[in-house]
Amino acid sequence: MKSPIEAIRVPGLTRLDKLELEKELAPGSVTFKDELSDAAHGEPLTTAVVIVSVVAIRALAGWLMKDNESGVIEKKVETIDAKGKRRITTLKVNTKSSRAPKAEVVGKLAQLVGIDASLVQGIN
Amino acid sequence: MGRKTPAPAKQDDDSRAHYFLGDRSWVNLLTNSAFITGVDLREHFAAFFAPGQFPRSCLSSFLHEAVHHWCFRSVVGHTLSILEWRARLRFGRNRLIHLWQAPVFADFKAAFDDVMRFETALALLRPIAEGLALFAQYDVEPRPETQIISRPMQWIVHLFTTPEKDKTKHRLFRPLLVALRKMRMSDASIKAKANLFLEPLRASRSPYLSGYLTVKGMWRLAQRKTDRFLDADLFYMFLRRYFYGDWGLVVRLLDKRRGPQGIARLIEYFTERLVSFAFLDLDAEAELLDRLEQTRVENPAATFNLASTDPKVVKKGQRLNFEAMKFFSPAAGDSEEVRLNKRMAETMLTQRDLMSIGRATVQIEPIKSRQAVRVSIRRKFIAEIQTVKGWKPKRQKGTLTLHISLQGLFTVVALTDNRGKLIAIAVPKDIEDLLGEEIVTVMTDKGLVTRKVGKEYAKWRKDDLLSRYVLDASMLDELERLSNSQKQFLMENSGYKQKYESDIQSTSTAVDEIYRITSLGWADRDKVDTVYQTMAEEGLYPVLNRDPILLNALATLSLASSIGLSAEEAQEHLPPRDMTVSVALQTLEKAAQDAGIPLVHSIDGYLASYV
């Protein structure tokens, strides 16, 4: 099933996040960009651009679940469609009150990119 | 099936890409505009005006960016900005006339030279800029024995602490130290420091770890030379002046000799500057700094230089700076577009004092009976603000920005419409009087000079000049981005592309070599090369056997050391499931010995960290 969304941008990643995400995702399916201009001096953070696929969504959900000590996952992400149109969305899942938190995160990501959630849930 | 469909994800109000960078704080050297992550004006607007009530979660980012802003508001920051704006204006002129036919014009050559000087100096200074900001975040604690505290720390006192009620000078220091110590031992800070240790040591790949270790190494050296620099706040005030108040660098940047010689001289000069640090009379520098900064508190118009500064170099730098600024004055034959661009660049060059610390899209409702508007954010009332004369009342969306003046220690609220036109500008009541003794930085034939101005001028300034330079930081950034893409396009499509790439490569090699030495001054001499190879791409991670628990322990112990905790006291900050302080110290000692670099020790029960 082809997603109308081509990529998801996830900002605010630390160096450790980057190492972990690289481990989770297949080579070539994620790139990291420092999106400030040359003259800007910013915090040591980067933005991941994940190419959308069923496997990548599953891996991204797994990575989001790792930072779950507060019981709430809240992350701003941006989707980019084939025409380059961008849309910012806040993903929010209360993992304390959810019976199947990972499935919920997967479901929200799948919905965001227009993929059938059951396809993603089935991948292990 | 039967799986419950998840609720749709929330769509944000504002989908402009610029704001998406909001997860990352930054300061732009060209415009000195800033963005502080975590500031939500809907929740925090009122806190801005109540001393000590600004959210503590923003303290770390605020301090980091305030140090950048403070450094860039300097003669070197100003000169770098001159070079880059001058280049962009020159590029713009070429584009309008002859880009496709013959891009190699005298003006293009000059623009290329400006770009190379700017980018070389930026690359050379970037690790120092980041090192100073990280040093402030993790190590700086002002001491009551010193007469003065740095500007960023003064703003921390104002925004994040409430003075105690006693009348001693400790009433300000104690709350400041408590706030800094609490911030440093927070989970977020420990995580951030652990991530700093993972940054590549290769400075051209990442300026953070190389810069931090360089600044920290310089501090260790300075402490050995003078007790005065046990005060890290005084030390980083000195280091800021040493690099960003350096008229010698200004001279090299504006020197008219063009071509590769200019770039090579710049690299050579900067290397010598770093080396000379070891031979300075730091006791004399610290004493003078303490005395003169104190004079500045009493008389903000006073200007001074470090003890080691050659007055002839200062004079030459000031003259070159003054001459360079003439480029931005409208000249006969300039088109209206060129005049406008020059005016914009000149405004950005001379008014770099305000630091924007919060921004939000707002709804603006005119109040019929008065010349004022009601401002709300997502249906929450925020403030009533008097509008500027001539504004036609209209219900609309706009942008609210909060600014602080690091130099003048006052605050400004600005309201603009969607096109960036100013609707209202407000300063707190108690600042109205202060404006009567407004401090402005003006360009004279002696360079940048800070002056007190009279009430009449201040009134005009408040109504006009101030409003002119309170441009929405997002607009400034957008403007910078636009001209940056134009510059990149021209560099890619000119005959200079190959030269540009080869010069950038030479600069990267020089930067790596300089910081390889300065960042590893604490390593065993015969192991510097091996340690550098180990740390070049993943920082301390390979030294720590890629163990995240050990990484976390090192971050915790280094921060505990910076606030003077004993090994025993540090224990409560290590997660119980991880490791005890004594096991952490033993394991780190072993890793340090294997690698040939000291990391952290316990001396008489107290922690001493090299990183």
- Residue A81 in domain: yes
pLDDT value at position B569? 93
Chain B hits for A86, Cβ within 8 Å: 15, 17
Chain A hits for B63, Cβ within 8 Å: none
CB contact under 8 A, A9 and B20: yes
Q: How far apart are CA A118 and CA B388, in angstroms?
A: 57
Chain A hits for B477, Cβ within 8 Å: 37, 40
**Which positions in chain A have a beta carbon within 8 angstroms of at least one beta carbon in chain B?**
9, 11-12, 14-16, 19, 35-45, 76, 78, 86-92, 103-104, 107-108, 111-112, 117-118, 121
β-pair partners for B366: B373
Residue type, B577: R
Tokens of B58: 């923003």
Chain A hits for B11, Cβ within 8 Å: 87-89
pLDDT band at A63 (very low <50, low <70, confident <90, very high): confident
Q: How far apart are CA B533 and CA B551, in angstroms?
A: 19
Residue B408 C-alpha, separation from nearest chain A C-alpha, in angstroms: 23
pLDDT beyond 90 at B562: yes
pLDDT beyond 50 at A90: yes
pLDDT value at position B474? 58
Residue A22 C-alpha, separation from nearest chain B C-alpha, in angstroms: 14
Strands A5-13 and A40-42: unpaired
Q: What are phi and psi of B52, to 5 degrees?
A: 85, 0
Chain A hits for B68, Cβ within 8 Å: 41
pLDDT value at position B443? 39
Helix %, strand %, coil % of chain A (to 5): 35, 35, 35
CB contact under 8 A, B20 and A11: yes
Tell me the pLDDT tens digit for each residue of B572-597.
998 877 789 999 999 999 999 999 99
User: Looking up tokens 């690698």, which residue turns up?
Assistant: B595
Higher pLDDT, A1 or B69: B69
- Residue A55 in domain: yes
Nearest to B254 by CA among B396, B99, B80: B80
Higher pLDDT, B533 or A119: B533
HSE of B247, CA atoms in CB hemisphere, 13 A: 22
Q: Which long-range contacts (CB under 8 A, 24 or more apart) does B434-439 make?
A: B434/B408, B434/B410, B435/B410, B435/B459, B435/B461, B435/B462, B438/B408, B438/B462, B439/B300, B439/B301, B439/B407, B439/B408
Residue A91 C-alpha, separation from nearest chain B C-alpha, in angstroms: 6
Q: Quickly list H helices, chain A.
A: 15-24, 54-66, 101-113, 117-121
pLDDT beyond 90 at B375: yes
Angle at B342 between CA B338 and CA B345, to 5 degrees: 140
- Residue A84 in domain: yes
Is residue B69 a contact partner of residue A42, using CB atoms and an 8 Å limit? Answer: no
Going from the C-alpha of B354 to that of each of B163, B193, B350, B406, the distances in angstroms are 25, 29, 11, 7
CB contact under 8 A, A37 and B480: yes
Task: Work out the number of other CB atoms within 10 angstroms of the CB of residue B406.
Answer: 20
Q: How far apart are CA A65 and CA A102, in angstroms?
A: 7
- Residue A105 in domain: yes
Q: Which residue of A has its CA nearest to B60?
A: A43
pLDDT beyond 50 at A35: yes
pLDDT value at position B570? 94
Q: Quickly list H helices, B380-465.
A: 429-435, 455-460
pLDDT beyond 90 at B226: yes
Higher pLDDT, A123 or A2: A2
pLDDT beyond 60 at B122: yes
| A41: helix, strand or coil | strand
User: How far, rounded to the nearest angstrom, does the alpha carbon of residue B537 sit from its chain's CA centroid?
Assistant: 25
Tell me the pLDDT tens digit for each residue of A3-33.
678 899 988 888 888 888 888 888 888 998 8
Going from the C-alpha of B516 to that of each of B194, B342, B520, B532, the distances in angstroms are 21, 40, 6, 7
Tell me the pLDDT tens digit for each residue of B1-39.
344 444 444 443 333 333 344 468 888 888 788 888 888
Q: How far apart are CA B14 and CA B23, in angstroms?
A: 14
> For position A73, which CATH number holds?
3.30.70
Q: Residue B144 contacts by C-beta under 8 Å, 6 or more apart in sequence?
A: B169, B170, B173
Write down the mean pLDDT value for chain B. Answer: 81
HSE of B472, CA atoms in CB hemisphere, 13 A: 22
User: How far, rounded to the nearest angstrom, does the alpha carbon of residue B585 sit from its chain's CA centroid?
Assistant: 34
Q: Into how many domains does chain A fold?
A: 1
Average pLDDT over residues B60-81: 93
Of B345-359, B360-374, B549-563, where does mean pLDDT reach its minimum? B345-359
Q: Residue A7 contacts by C-beta under 8 Å, 6 or more apart in sequence?
A: A49, A50, A51, A52, A79, A80
Q: What are phi and psi of A60, to 5 degrees?
A: -65, -40
DSSP structural state of residue B57: G
Average pLDDT over residues B200-216: 96
Q: Which residue of A has its CA nearest to B482?
A: A37
Chain A hits for B3, Cβ within 8 Å: 103, 107, 117-118, 121
pLDDT value at position B193? 96
Put residue B99 in one of left, alpha, beta given phi > 0 → left and psi -120 to 50 → alpha.
Answer: alpha
pLDDT value at position B249? 95
Q: How far apart are CA B213 and CA B543, in angstroms?
A: 15
Q: How far apart are CA A18 and CA B127, in angstroms?
A: 21
CB contact under 8 A, A44 and B480: no
- Residue A18 in domain: yes
Q: How far apart are CA B423 and CA B385, in angstroms?
A: 9
- Residue A122 in domain: no
Q: How far apart are CA A105 and CA A68, in angstroms?
A: 12
> Which helix or strand (DSSP H or E) is residue B425 part of?
strand B422-426
Average pLDDT over residues A42-53: 87
- Residue A124 in domain: no
Tell me the pLDDT tens digit for each residue of B431-485.
444 444 444 444 344 444 444 444 444 444 444 444 444 555 555 666 666 666 6
Tokens of B462: 């408040």
Residue type, B47: A
| A77: helix, strand or coil | strand
Q: Which residue in the set B26, B206, B539 is minimally distant from A41, CB to CB?
A: B26
pLDDT value at position B15? 30
Nearest to B591 by CA among B541, B522, B532, B538: B541
Report percent pLDDT > 70 for chain B: 80
Q: Which residue of B has its CA nearest to A14?
A: B195
Q: How far apart are CA B280 and CA B289, in angstroms?
A: 14
Average pLDDT over residues A95-118: 82
Print the domain residue range for A15. Answer: 5-117
Residues composing chain B: 611
- Residue A96 in domain: yes
Chain A hits for B15, Cβ within 8 Å: 86-88
